[in-house]
Amino acid sequence: MTEDHGAGWVRTFTTAPVDYDGFGTVTLKSPAGCTERGREVRLVLTPPEHVNWQRARYQSGMHMAVDDAEWQKLVSYGLVQVVS
C-alpha cells in the first residue's frame, strides 16, 4: 500500500477487468487468485465512500465482487484458488 491508499480503504476480490474500476479504485494484486473456471481474480482497494458503487459496477457486468470474509469461504469450498 502506498501513502495514498492508507487505512480505511476497502479490499474487494473481483473478476472484473480494470476497465470497470472507478472513483480511485486501484489494483493491489493481480492475479490474487483464479476461479474454478480459470477466470483471473484481482484484489483491489477502493475508498470507503465508493465501495457500494464499485461493487455494484463489477456485479453489473456479471463479475464476482466479494469482501475478505466471502473470499475465505470461496477458498475453503474450493471454488477459487489463491495465487501466491
CATH code of the domain containing 64? 3.30.70
8 is in which domain, residue-wise? 3-82
Strand order in the sheet with 40-46: 65-66, 10-14, 40-46, 26-35, 80-82
Residue 21 CA to residue 40 CA, distance in Å, equals 15
Spatial CA neighbour of 15 closest among 69, 53, 64: 64
Place 2 in a pLDDT band, splitting at 50, 70 and 90.
very low
Model pLDDT for residues 19-76, shown as the tens digit of each residue: 999 999 999 999 999 999 999 999 999 999 999 999 999 999 999 999 999 999 999 9
pLDDT number for residue 84: 82
> How many structural domains comprise the chain?
1
Measure CA 20 to chain center: 11
Q: Report the 10 Å Cβ neighbour count for 43.
A: 18
Q: Residue 46: phi, psi to the nearest 5?
A: -130, 140
